[in-house]
Amino acid sequence: MPDVVVVGGGPVGLLLAGELRLAGADPLVLEAADEPARQLRGLGLRGINGRTCQALRLRGLTGPLARAQEELFDRLAADQGPAGADQVRGLLRLLVEHRAKGHFGGLPLVEDQPDPLGTADQFLIKQHQLEQILVDWVTGLGVPLRSGCRVVDVVTEETEVRALLADGSSVSAAYLVGCDGGRSTVRKQARIGFPGTPATMTGRTAVAELADPGAVTASLHGPRGLLNLSLVPGEIATIEFDGGPDERDAPMTAAEMQASIRRVSGVDVTVTRLAGGVRYSDNTRQATTYRQGRVLLAGDAAHVHSPIGGQGLNLGLQDAMNLGWKLGLVVRGLAPEALLDTYTAERHPVGERVLRNTRAQVALMRPGAQVAALREVLGEALAVPATRHHFTAMVNGTDIDYAPGSAHPLTGRFAPPLELTGATPLPDLLRDGRAVLVDLTGSAQIRDAAEGHRVRTVTARCPAHDALAALLIRPDGYVAWATADANLTGLAEAFRIHGF
Ligand SMILES: Cc1cc2nc3c(=O)[nH]c(=O)nc-3n(C[C@H](O)[C@H](O)[C@H](O)COP(=O)(O)OP(=O)(O)OC[C@H]3O[C@@H](n4cnc5c(N)ncnc54)[C@H](O)[C@@H]3O)c2cc1C
């Protein structure tokens, strides 16, 4: 029997499974879909933001992401004419130089100088590329993945939870995590509330061909919506502010996409071929809790919102980083069960904030003279570095503080990129998912305090941070405890509550 059943082998389920494995648990991933369905779901591009990159760097996954991005951009450039290829290369340059930091409602967040914010990487890739990188990683860790397994019900018993599959079989485990996307069966079966606001817009992205692509503007933000033909060759995207999609399940047809392009552009184009498409909306909802006993939720199963601004995947991947080590330690009996409640306590407010900023971004994309004026005003404000950095931190998740008001300002924050002299670089120290106690003063007292705890203790110097004496870093890269001097108050408690 596995320790944890992860329902859904999308990006969030895969990362969670790997994190559970690193924490010493035995997860099993049950995935309903087959390979072609995955490729179709990955239409459009996915921005991997600053905080997610910092987190994935801890597991050595940013190298493969950089290679995937380069491959993708080579392909995108090759499929364009010379002007388009220059545009693609220009975007890649901004990413590689660490100057592109995403956008807010289509208003670019771009820096003049490389990386003034200390969050180096940002990637733009296809979702199936990310999923392949994660599949390779979890397979290497020995996590079993079972595809073609649709979970239809979840039954919680006193000592275990059972996933019932469509073929009539079942799998039991101590815990079950629903990473099964926005329409989560797990969430519904566990009767976890999902309040929010209904859709007001419909986005469509399709692999399609037009009889005369030159007849419409390649990138249009007009009075009836948005049209884009230029970002990914062969893909056409529209957004209409029409009250949300009437149809959610039926496969998209050429006639549907053609009608949408005609409405947005006002041009009578003809779609000659359509090889699949996806619809999305700004239906914005969040689970009332991310844990109900033995059942937990992560990723889109816990929160949905418009993809404008590119944050849903990032939010979910960071849920997985937060939950993985906690659930791994709890299921092995090494940490108190109360640690699991810190998952909702820490991640729910972060999700709430993303829901708020994506609603604001949808408002900014609407047609109309007033919104156009608002965009201009906000564009001016974003030219001011301090304002731009505030928005950049918000959409990149780099302003997250899990423990506001702590005794030390670093506690609750992601560990800063400390330049350690005499030790392995910090991200590499966390590669195997173990907590790290960094001692910057060579103190015997700190080493003694760590004796017998599940942490790697590292003694190093960090001349740039002479006001920092020691810090305890969780497996997800966040600081659990820090001190500016020899005072170790709070360290023993930090070991206890985190199960280190
Ligand atoms: C056009 C578009 C562009 C986007 N761009 C971005 C972006 O730039 N940045 C960003 O951060 N986000 C973006 N998003 C959002 C992002 O795609 C999602 O937030 C992300 O896919 C969520 O990952 P997940 O693993 O939680 O869910 P999913 O990717 O939905 O994966 C869920 C998995 O669970 C499986 N499953 C479902 N039900 C069951 C069941 N009953 N039993 C077993 N398995 C099941 C599914 O087959 C699937 O594999 C975009 C979305 C769209 C539509």
Q: Is 33 in the pocket of ligand 1 (CB under 6 A)?
A: yes
Check if 228 has its Cβ closer than 6 Å to any atom of ligand 1.
no
Average pLDDT, whole number, for the chain?
Answer: 93
Q: Probe ligand 1: pick from 169, 296, 313, 358, max atoms within 8 Å of CB?
A: 313
Contact 340, 327 (CB under 8 A): yes
Buried b (16+ CB within 10 A) or exposed e, 83-121: ebbebbeebbebbbebbbbbbbbebebebeeeeebebeb
Burial class for 325, CB neighbours closer than 10 Å (0-12, 13-18, 19+):
buried
- Report whether residue 73 contacts ligand 1, using a CB cutoff of 6 Å: no
Predicted confidence (pLDDT) per residue in 177-231, tens digit: 999 999 999 999 999 999 999 999 999 999 999 998 888 887 888 888 999 987 7
- H/E element, 30: strand 27-31
Going by pLDDT thresholds of 50, 70 and 90, the confidence category of residue 403 is very high
Select the more confidently predicted residue: 378 or 91: 378
- Alpha carbon 201 to its chain centroid, in Å, reads 23
Nearest partner of 239 among 200, 296, 194, 182, judged by Cα: 200
ipTM of the complex: 0.98
Q: Domain-by-domain residue ranges, the chain?
A: 4-194+285-395, 202-281, 426-498
Assess whether the C-beta atom of 46 lies below 6 angstroms from ligand 1: yes
Atom of ligand 1 nearest to the CA of 42: 17
CATH of 426-498, one of 3.90.230.10, 3.20.20.10, 3.40.50.620, 3.40.30.120: 3.40.30.120
**Binning pLDDT at 50, 70 and 90, where does residue 34 land?**
confident
pLDDT tens per residue, range 349-374? 999 999 999 999 999 999 999 999 99
Q: Which of 445, 443, 422, 431 lies closest to 473, judged by CA? A: 431
Distance CA(107)–CA(395), nearest Å, equals 12
Task: For ligand 1, pick from 49, 109, 180 the residue to mutate: most ligand atoms within 8 Å of CB.
Answer: 180
User: Rounded to the nearest whole angstrom, what is the distance from the C-alpha of residue 266 to the centroid of ligand 1?
Assistant: 32
pLDDT at residue 258 in the model: 96
Number of the ligand 1 atom closest to the C-alpha atom of 127: 17
CATH topology of domain 4-194+285-395: FAD/NAD(P)-binding domain (3.50.50)
Q: Is the CB of 328 under 6 A from ligand 1?
A: no
Q: Is 12 in the pocket of ligand 1 (CB under 6 A)?
A: yes
- What's the CATH class of domain 202-281? alpha beta
Residue 51 CA, ligand 1 centroid: distance in Å: 19
Question: Could you tell me which of 494, 442, 500, 498 has the C-alpha nearest to residue 470?
Answer: 442
Which whole number is the average pLDDT over 102-117?
86
Q: Is 52 in the pocket of ligand 1 (CB under 6 A)?
A: no
Asked whether 27 lines ligand 1 (CB < 6 A), one says no
Does ligand 1 come within 6 angstroms of the Cβ of 178? no
pLDDT one-digit tens code per residue, 223-264? 889 999 877 888 999 999 999 998 888 999 999 999 999 999
Protein residue closest via CA to atom 16 of ligand 1: 313
- What are the CA-CA distances from residue 301 to residues 192, 298, 317, 320, 351 (Å)? 10, 6, 12, 12, 12
